[in-house]
Chain A
Amino acid sequence: MTALDLGLPTAGGLDGVPTTSEKQTAKDFTSDQEVRWCPGCGDYAVLAAVRQFLPSLGIKRENTVFVSGIGCSSRFPYYLNTYGMHSIHGRAPAIATGLAVTRPDLSVWVVTGDGDALSIGGNHLIHALRRNINLKILLFNNRIYGLTKGQYSPTSEEGKITKSTPFGSVDHPFNPVSLALGAEATFVGRAIDSDRKGLTAVLEAAAAHRGTALVEIFQDCPIFNDGSFDVLRKPDTAAERLVPIVHGQPIRFGPTGDDGLGAYAVVREGFGLRVAKAIEVDESEIVVHDGADHNLAFALSRLSDQDLTHTITGIFRNVARSTYDDAARAQVQHEREVRTPDLQALLNGRDTWTVAG
Chain B
Amino acid sequence: MTSTDAATDHSRVVEKDRVVIRFAGDSGDGMQLTGDRFTSETAAFGNDLSTLPNFPAEIRAPAGTLPGVSSFQLHFANYDILTPGDRPDVLVAMNPAALKANIADLPAGGVLIVNTDEFTKRALTKVDYQTNPLEDGSLEQFSVFPVAMATLTRGALADTGLSKKDAERSKNMFALGLLSWMYHRPHEATERFLREKFARRPDIAEANILAFRAGHAYGETTEAFAVTYEVAPAPLPVGTYRQITGNTALAYGIVAAGQVSGLPVFLGSYPITPASDILHELSKHKAFNVTTFQAEDEIAGVGSALGAAFGGSLGVTTTSGPGISLKSETIGLAVSLELPLLVIDVQRGGPSTGLPTKTEQADLLQAMFGRNGEAPLPIIAPRSPADCFAVALEAARIAVTYRTPVLVLSDGSVANGSEPWRVPDAATLPRIEPGFATEPNAPDGSGTFWPYLRDDDTLARPWATPGTPGLEHRIGGLEKADGRGVISYEPDNHDRMVRLRAAKIAGIPVPDVEVDDPTGDATLLVVGWGSTYGPIGAGARRVRALGKRVATAHLRHLNPLPENLGEVLARYDTVLVPEMNLGQLSLLLRAHYLVDAKSYTKVSGLPFKAEELQDLFLDYLSGVLV
* Residues in chain B within 8 A of chain A (CB atoms): 1, 40, 43-46, 189, 233, 235-244, 252, 255-256, 259, 264, 266, 268, 285-291, 293, 295-297, 299-300, 303-313, 315, 329-330, 333, 337, 389, 423-427, 466-478, 486-487
Contacts and interface: CB of A to CB of B under 8 A. Distances in A.
A91 B299 contact: yes
B43 A62 contact: no
A87 interface: yes
Interface of A: 18, 31, 33, 60-65, 67, 70, 77-78, 80-88, 91, 94-103, 105-106, 123-124, 127, 328-329, 331-332, 334-336, 338-341, 343-344, 346-349, 351-357
B252 A353 contact: no
12 contacts: A78-B486, A83-B472, A91-B299, A91-B330, A94-B296, A94-B299, A99-B310, A343-B256, A344-B425, A353-B240, A355-B46, A356-B238
A63 B468 CA distance: 8
Contact of A103 (B237, B304, B311): B311
A98 B296 contact: no
B44 A353 contact: yes
Contact of B472 (A81, A95, A344, A357): A81
A103 B242 CA distance: 36
Contacts of A61: 472
Nearest to B336: A88
A62 B478 CA distance: 22
Contact of A354 (B241, B477, B487): B241
Nearest to B264: A102
Contacts of B235: 355
B291 A355 contact: no
A124 B301 CA distance: 11
Contacts, number: 211
A244 to B, nearest CB: 34
Nearest to B241: A353
Contacts of A123: 296-297, 300
Contact of A62 (B290, B297, B467): B467
Nearest to B317: A98
A349 B242 contact: yes
Contact of B307 (A31, A95, A351): A95
The 8 closest A-B pairs by CB, nearest first: A86-B476, A98-B307, A98-B304, A94-B303, A94-B300, A335-B286, A95-B307, A98-B308
B202 to A, nearest CB: 20
A100 B43 CA distance: 43
A62, A83, A84, A334: which has the most chain B beta carbons within 10 Å?
A: A83
Contact of A78 (B295, B307, B337, B474): B474
B288 A106 contact: no
Contacts of B309: 98
A84, A91, A353: which has the most chain B beta carbons within 10 Å?
A: A353
Nearest to A80: B474
A199 to B, nearest CB: 23
A99 B315 CA distance: 10
A335 B239 contact: no
B236, B285, B474: which has the most chain A beta carbons within 10 Å?
A: B474
